[in-house]
Every structure is written in structure tokens, then in C-alpha cells.
């Protein structure tokens, strides 16, 4: 287990992050997130012993980590930093082999066991095909796999990674985050990672720490910690809202066109329509939506005008009439081909009262064309 108690980190007597209390156990991933420049990497470098703490202490299995000898620490902790490396003409095998140095003799000779561990480390990150490839000829995603394999070759209990997805495209980001989840579970590693991508952090982390203004403003399970107010505050976001249900931000509905549209949706059928309308400045009304509907969560994050109904209750006459009032104020109604059941059947009646109706067929270009004709 890795644990930080009352930790303060910084440079040249200037504290960057103060009062840090965190822990991560074997088989868990702790993600540290926050805006650029808040001290995520500084905190990580202190945990990795690259920096001495200004106060407080970091424990690794009840040992004070900064008092461990480098040879002891190398067998317990492995670190993968953001900095691009230039190792010359080394192959993937050569790079991974560096991770075995704490275990080799004075001449750095690899035993058969060392070679087996190197191959197994490459296999664990799906990089067997990279063992003979020159490191400089690899893509960023391939290099990251090799660097993680090098760390695994140390046979650590703790793996520290600083922004491992920084230079990766979407596919390799997903591959890497799935790999970290696999390593935590199957290798029983305790993993500490700084990461920019909130969506990925939510999906792989067991615990999450949010840093702002030199403090950890929230710490715990991401499902408990990551709500709209906390995440908006973390990044000082004004024109969007974090949507907990989808794990990312939705733009706020700021009417810039004076064109009013009423959207009848549900069951996720309205998500793309709402996003198109909001980013193009339409004034959007939406309903009648049940409070447990995903379209409701998205519309609420966008701050569109919603006529809402309680979950698992049929649409009331009161809410139907409220929606009808909004509908008649609008230039056009969009029917998103939503699923219909007993709870939302009155929404069909709403559409019947509309003078101009667009039936959304799933194609945004077609929606754009119809809106231009009708408004």
C-alpha cells in the first residue's frame, strides 16, 4: 500500500501542493486530475522520490519511502514519466531489459529468468511484436507500451505514471487505459496516474483526487466525487456543465439566433439533436422528459428549458399543458422518433398540435436542411 500523510510538495521553499492525504492499495488505480500548472506532476515526483517532501511523509508498506535505498525502491516501485526519451539505437527488448537492472549482476548480464520476465512484460502490454523494433521508429503508442513493459520488468508493487496519454490518439488512449485497468486487476498493482482526460479517469480509476489552488479539493471514489459543481469549479468552466451521467461536459444553451425549437425526445434519441441545436445557438425547449431519462440528464446539463415528469409516472395533464404552451411559442417541433410507452404516450399528442414538425431520421445534415427551410 502507498500512503501520503499531511504531505506538502514544491520547489525552492515554495509549496505547490499542501496537505495531501491519499492512499492506494494493491489492485487499485488512483487518478490525479486538475488544470495545467496546479502541481500534479510535482506531487507525483515527490511520491516517486524524485523530490523530497517539504513536510509530511509517504509510506510504502509502512516504510518511509524517501528513506529506502534506490536498490530497494527499484524492486518495489516503477515510474513512467511524460518526458520523451531518446535512447539511441536500442530495441524494444533493450529498453524493457533496463527494468531488470536492479536484479542483474555487476556487469548487467541477463539470466534466462531475466529474459523470460522481459518477454512476459512485453506480452502483458501486447508488445511482443516490438521487441526487435528500434525504439526511435515506434509510434507514440508503441513507445508508451514499451516504457510500461520496462516498468513491469522491475516486478514492482507500485506503478507511477505521469500523463501517460499525453501524446496518444483516441485509439491508443483507450488501449492504454484498458491496459492499466488490466494490470491493476491481474498483476495486483497499485497504480498512481496523473491524467487530463476526465472520461478515461472516470472509467478506470478506483479513487480520484482533484487538485486546485494548491489543495486537494475532492478525494474519493469518482462516482461520489465527480459532480457538476465540483468539476465545473475545478476547471473554472462558465459556458458548459459537467454531466455526471455521461462523464463529460455539455455546452450551455445560450440563445444567439432568436430561433426557438421544441424537441420531443427520450431514451437517448434526442442527444445528437440537442447538441446540434445548442452549439448552433437555437433557443431550445424540451419535453416532456422523465427525470430518469438520459435525454433529461443531457438537457439539464445544457440548461435548456425542460418540462419534466417524475420517474416512472405517466405524463400528467399539468405537465402536458405546460409543454404545449412552450411548443406553441416555438418556430418548429422536432420529433426524434423516441421510444413510446404508457409513461410518455402524451408526447405523441403534443406533436399532433404542432404546426411545423421535423421528423429526425438520424441524419444531422438533413436536420440542418429542414431547419433552414422552416425557420
Residues 17 and 77 in one domain: yes
- Residue 264 and residue 155 share a domain: no
User: What pLDDT, on the 0 to 100 scale, is given for residue 165?
Assistant: 83
Does 201 lie in the same domain as 60?
yes
Tell me which H or E stretch contains 329: helix 317-329
Q: Is residue 273 part of a domain?
A: yes
The 3-class SS string of 170-217 reads HHHHHHHHHHHHHHHHHCCCEEEEECCCHHHHHHHCCEEEEEECCEEE
67-114 pLDDT per residue, tens:
999 889 989 999 998 766 667 789 999 999 999 988 877 777 888 999
Domain boundary among 208, 235, 262: 235
What CATH number does the domain containing 261 carry? 3.40.50.720
Q: What is the pLDDT of residue 168?
A: 81
Q: How far is CA 355 from CA 262, 275, 367, in A?
A: 12, 23, 17
Any domain includes 92: yes
Cell numbers of 213, please? 489552488
Among candidate residues 235, 256, 271, the one where a domain is terminated: 235
How many structural domains comprise the chain? 2
Residues 197 and 289 reside in one and the same domain: no
Is 141 a member of any domain? yes
CA distance 327 to 229: 31
Strands 77-80 and 305-309: unpaired
Position 314 in a domain: yes
Based on the fold, state whether residues 213 and 299 are members of the same structural domain.
no
Distance between CA atoms of 316 and 118, rounded to whole angstroms? 66
CA distance linking residue 119 with residue 331, whole number of Å: 65
pLDDT score recorded for residue 140? 86
* Domain contains 242: no
Q: Which has the higher per-residue pLDDT, 375 or 185?
A: 185
Residue-number span of the structural domain to which 277 is assigned = 248-374
> What are 60-73's pLDDT values in tens digits?
998 999 999 988 99
The set of cell numbers assigned to 29 is: 488505480
Which among 235, 268, 294 is the end of a domain?
235
CATH code of 110's domain: 3.40.50.300
Question: Is the same domain home to 44 and 172?
Answer: yes
Amino acid at each position: 500500500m502507498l500512503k501520503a500523510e499531511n504531505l506538502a510538495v514544491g520547489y525552492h521553499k515554495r509549496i505547490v501542493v499542501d496537505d495531501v492525504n491519499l492512499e492506494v492499495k494493491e489492485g487499485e488505480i488512483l487518478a490525479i486530475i486538475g488544470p495545467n500548472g496546479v502541481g500534479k506532476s510535482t506531487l507525483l515526483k515527490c511520491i516517486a522520490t524524485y523530490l523530497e517532501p517539504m513536510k509530511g511523509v509517504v509510506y510504502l508498506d509502512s516504510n518511509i519511502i524517501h528513506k529506502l535505498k534506490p536498490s530497494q525502491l527499484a524492486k518495489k516501485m516503477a515510474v513512467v514519466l511524460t518526458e520523451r526519451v531518446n535512447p539511441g539505437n536500442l530495441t524494444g527488448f533493450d529498453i524493457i531489459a533496463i527494468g531488470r537492472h536492479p536484479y542483474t549482476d555487476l556487469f548487467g548480464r541477463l539470466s534466462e529468468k531475466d529474459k523470460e520476465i522481459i518477454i512476459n512484460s512485453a506480452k502483458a502490454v501486447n508488445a511482443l511484436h516490438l521487441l526487435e523494433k528500434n525504439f526511435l521508429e515506434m509510434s507514440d503508442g508503441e513507445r508508451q507500451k514499451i516504457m510500461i513493459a520496462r516498468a513491469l520488468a522491475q516486478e514492482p508493487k507500485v506503478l507511477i505514471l505521469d500523463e501517460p496519454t499525453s501524446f496518444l490518439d483516441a485509439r491508443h488512449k483507450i488501449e492504454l487505459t484498458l491496459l492499466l485497468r488490466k494490470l491493476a486487476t491481474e498483476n495486483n498493482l497499485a497504480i498512481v496516474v496523473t491524467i487530463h482526460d476526465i472520461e478515461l479517469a472516470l472509467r478506470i480509476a478506483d479513487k480520484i483526487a482533484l487538485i486546485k489552488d494548491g489543495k486537494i479539493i475532492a478525494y474519493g471514489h469518482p462516482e461520489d466525487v465527480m459532480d457538476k459543481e465540483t468539476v465545473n469549479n475545478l476547471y473554472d468552466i462558465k459556458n458548459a456543465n459537467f454531466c455526471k451521467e455521461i462523464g463529460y461536459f455539455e455546452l450551455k444553451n445560450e440563445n444567439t439566433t432568436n430561433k426557438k425549437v421544441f424537441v420531443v425526445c427520450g431514451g437517448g434519441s434526442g442527444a445528437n439533436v440537442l447538441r446540434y441545436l445548442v452549439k448552433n445557438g437555437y433557443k431550445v425547449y424540451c419535453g416532456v422528459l422523465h427525470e430518469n431519462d438520459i435525454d433529461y440528464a443531457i438537457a439539464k446539463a445544457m440548461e435548456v428549458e425542460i418540462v419534466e415528469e417524475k420517474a416512472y409516472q405517466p405524463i400528467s395533464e399539468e405537465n402536458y399543458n405546460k409543454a404545449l404552451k412552450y411548443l406553441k411559442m416555438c418556430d418548429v417541433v422536432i420529433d426524434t422518433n423516441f421510444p413510446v410507452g404508457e409513461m410518455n404516450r402524451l408526447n405523441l399528442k403534443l406533436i399532433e398540435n404542432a404546426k411545423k414538425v421535423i421528423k429526425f431520421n438520424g441524419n444531422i445534415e438533413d436536420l440542418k436542411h429542414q431547419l433552414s427551410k422552416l425557420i
